[in-house]
Amino acid sequence: MSSNLRLVFYYGLTIFLSAFLLFQVQPIIAKMILPWFGGSASVWTACMLFFQMLLLLGYLYSHWVVRFLSPRQQSYLHMALLAASLLLLPLSPSPDWRPTGGEDPTLRILGLLTVTIGLPYVVLSTTGPLIQAWFARERPGVLPYRLFALSNFGSLLALLAYPIAVEPVLSTRWQSNVWSGLFIVFAALCSLLAWRGRNGVAIKLSETESTSTTHRGPSFSMRLAWIALAACPSILMIADTSFLTENIAPIPLLWVIPLALYLLSFIFCFERTGWYRRDAYLPLLALGLGAMAYLPTLGISELPVYLAMGINLASFFVACMVCHGELARLKPHPSQLTTYFLMLATGGAIGGLFVGVVAPYCFNSNFELSIGLVLTALVVTLVVLRGHQFTNPTRRGLAWVTALTMTAGIAYVRIDDHLYELADAKVTSRNFYGTLRVFNGGEGVDARRTLMHGQIVHGRQFATPSREDLPTAYYSEESGVGRAIAAKMAATQGPLRVGVVGVGVGTLLTYGRQGDVYRLYDIDPLVIQLARTEFSFFSRTKAKTEVVIADARLALEREDAQQFDVLVIDAFSGDAVPIHLLTKEAFATYFKHLKLDGVLAVHVTNRFLNLMPVVKTAADSFGKQARLISFEGDSDRLIFRSNWVVISATNDFFGQPWFKDVATPIEVRPGFKIWDDNYSSVLAVLK
């Protein structure tokens, strides 16, 4: 291999490995801390915000060292940072960061990530622009931007490999160890390149280039264009991920797909110029933004799930291709490389801050996707039309009118949809855990109130006084939990003590009798507030109620044994399944709080995940008996189809009349691996 090829190989390997590690650590660390913060999809949003902010910090560092330090100073400083980052290995988040109650966890998540992975992540994030600058310094005249495409390929490979090849095979402990080992290899490679370049010469423009307007420093308007073009896909990526998981398909794996498409567009646009063509992609952008604006106006069942997902994701990819394609068209001379990447990182961070911090605390509904669509249309219009040389003033005017009319149309569709949404909802509230809405519906004896999170129903109640105490939704007398409570009522002399994980609107309180105690756990204080103020299950129950606002597992681990007759686990019907409530360690905690003859009822109704084998293997590991109780529902009584796994210490419990002919054994395929705190795989239970 020639010296030139070896040089390209070493630079390429270093930048590829850094990008792979950069995006591999994101799901690893997110999975480690998800159990501490309720498994909410918003944890992923907070993590994305952290990663974007540190990426900006890494790019700022790269820009500063290249501009203000000599090659020798750059080398020594960067080798020192690489050595210091090794001191934080292996990855191991401290349990001291776990929340103690229902406080907003955003700052706690950011602090935890900073002390756990902050320095290694910053060092990795510097590699893209810094290595490209070093390469351009060592190979003057060779454009380094294809290394950026290679970097994004490494990121994409890491992102796709995690759910397919890493999570199903390795425990989180081994994921951390393998990642740490690869980081050591990366640190060694990067240190060798830094040492090699210590005697290099800073990049300078030739006399011809220095007098050419093409290679002068970027103007303020150009920097602003770079930032805006980078911010739009960032906003769309995070906002669209939230829209997909809340309104189309509540599949946790959908967190990965938009990010993968985002990276793929970078690869296509920076690998070579031919991938992005304005004449093809600009008309597709108009159609795509229109489709993304119109999709939220449809109900969840008006289009087949995969068709709606396909239209949405294809439109999102087109928007990324246009924004990143325009960025590639505007890339500067290598002497301005670090400034360019710094502006890209600034745009990405602005997008993350807007969706992750501004939107949840300033908006009462999900407006950020709509804002992202309109902003993308405006930015692309300004960048394309201002930079295009029109020979005919009439054509120029027609182009501006067409583009602005399209933008106005997108804005109209989204504003009209939001006005309809807000007018239809009795209450709309939002916090870290998502947007909750209360609706009134029906007439006469069928009048009802409904609490929804996105398109997921969290509970319903009849509004007429004569029907207010009827158990609805998943909790009817025919459901698994209804039968379990009824059986314990009949078998127990005296009051019951019932624990409930996941409050909803408090429907299970309809079963409460005088002397009974219902202890309810929910991580979202807004759910408790709306259940108390907009529904009457809390006020009408005869039982005593105790409410604990905290992650249920953390709360149960801290508490003394509660001696529950029935413990209900109802947290798995939404968009982000809290896996930490389904592990072997979690079930050990549940059984600790049950009486010897107590019953555990686990709600496993989910359109996309088959959680029955997870619960069954956990029950088997403790020598318990598990049965599935299914009910098809009754729309006239506002009762949904439901699946409950009921677990008892003995088989005799299922011989009672309430379970005759309805309690069925659960089959688990051979080789299904029990979930624990070090291993779980959503892919293994995807329907």
Cα separation, 298 vs 97, whole angstroms = 41
Instruction: Give CA–CA dist 56/200, Å, rounded.
Output: 26
Domain boundary among the residues 171, 201, 231 is at: 201
* Structure confidence at residue 458 (pLDDT): 86
The answer to whether residue 431 sits within a structural domain is no
Residues 53 and 168 in one domain: yes
| Together in a domain, 603 and 628 | yes
Same-domain status, 248 and 376:
yes
Number of domains composing the chain: 3
Burial 341-377 (b: 16+ CB within 10 A, else e): bbbbbbbbbbbbbbbbeebbeeebbbbbbbbbbbbbb
Is residue 450 in some structural domain? no
Written as six digits, the tokens of 507 are: 């429907």
What are phi and psi for residue 355, nearest 5 degrees? -80, -35
Q: Is residue 393 part of a domain?
A: yes
C-alpha span between 144 and 9 (Å, rounded): 13
Q: Which two tokens stand for residue 163?
A: 């759910």
CA distance 18 to 219: 31
Most confidently modeled of 91-105, 188-202, 418-432, 606-620?
A: 606-620
Q: What is the distance between the alpha carbons of residues 419 and 414, in angstroms, rounded to a whole number?
A: 9
d(CA 81, CA 91): 17
Q: In this structure, are 333 and 266 located in the same domain?
A: yes
> Based on the domain organization, do 256 and 331 belong to the same domain?
yes
Mean pLDDT of 87-116: 82
382 and 518 part of one domain: no
d(CA 499, CA 475): 15
Percent of the chain whose pLDDT exceeds 70: 90
Q: Does any domain span residue 448?
A: no
Same domain, residue pair 666 and 537: yes
Q: How many CA atoms lie within 13 A of 307 on its CB side?
A: 7
Of 368, 384, 414, which one is at a domain's C-terminal end?
Answer: 414
Q: Which residues contact 427 (CB under 8 A, 6 or more apart)?
A: 436, 437, 438, 530, 534
Q: Flag whether 140 is in a domain.
A: yes
Question: Does 388 share its domain with 501?
Answer: no
The residue ranking higher by pLDDT, 576 or 33, is: 33
Residues whose CB falls within 8 Å of the CB of residue 161, separated by 6 or more in sequence, listed in order = 24
Q: Are residues 679 and 621 in the same domain?
A: yes
Answer with the one of 391, 414, 437 that is the final residue of a domain: 414
Name the least confident of 76-80, 206-210, 545-549, 662-666.
206-210
Beta-carbon contacts of 70 under 8 Å, excluding residues fewer than 6 positions away, are 202
Q: Are residues 635 and 500 in the same domain?
A: yes
Q: Tell me if 424 is assigned to some domain.
A: no
CB 410 within 8 A of CB 377: yes
The predicted-structure confidence for 620-674, as pLDDT tens digits, reads as follows: 999 999 999 999 999 899 999 999 999 999 888 998 999 988 999 999 998 899 9
Q: How far apart are the first and last CA of the chain?
A: 49
Which stretch of 145-159, 166-180, 365-379, 392-406 has the lowest confidence by average pLDDT?
145-159
Average pLDDT for the chain = 86
State the residue range of the domain holding 28: 1-201
Mean pLDDT of the 331-358 span? 84
**What mean pLDDT is predicted for residues 434-451?**
89
Q: What pLDDT does residue 642 have? A: 94
Give the predicted TM-score (pTM) of the model.
Answer: 0.77
* Residues 597 and 633 placed together within one structural domain of the fold: yes
**Do 462 and 448 form a contact (C-beta atoms < 8 A)?**
yes
Instruction: Put residue 501 in one of left, alpha, beta given phi > 0 → left and psi -120 to 50 → alpha.
Output: beta
Instruction: Quote the percentage of the chain above a pLDDT of 90.
Output: 44
Confidence of residue 301 (pLDDT cuts 50, 70, 90): low
Q: Domain of 482: which CATH number?
A: 3.40.50.150
How many other C-beta atoms are found inside a 10 Å radius of the C-beta of residue 293? 22
Which of 311, 332, 334, 638 shows the shortest CA–CA distance to 505? 638
Question: What does the pLDDT read at residue 214?
Answer: 47
Give domain status of residue 355, yes or no: yes
Same domain, 617 and 517: yes
* For residues 592-616, average pLDDT: 93
Instruction: Locate 359 and state its tokens.
Output: 């939107």
- The pLDDT assigned to 580 comes to 84
Is residue 527, in this structure, part of any structural domain at all?
yes
Is residue 596 exposed (0-12), middle (13-18) or buried (19+ Cβ within 10 Å)?
A: exposed
pLDDT digits (tens, 9 = 90+) for 184-226: 999 999 999 888 877 765 544 444 444 444 455 688 899 999 9
The runs of H, that is alpha helices, within 425-502 are 480-491
Q: What is the CATH number of the domain that holds 143?
A: 1.20.1250
| 198 against 160, higher pLDDT | 160
Taking alpha carbons only, the member of 575, 528, 521 closest to residue 553 is: 521
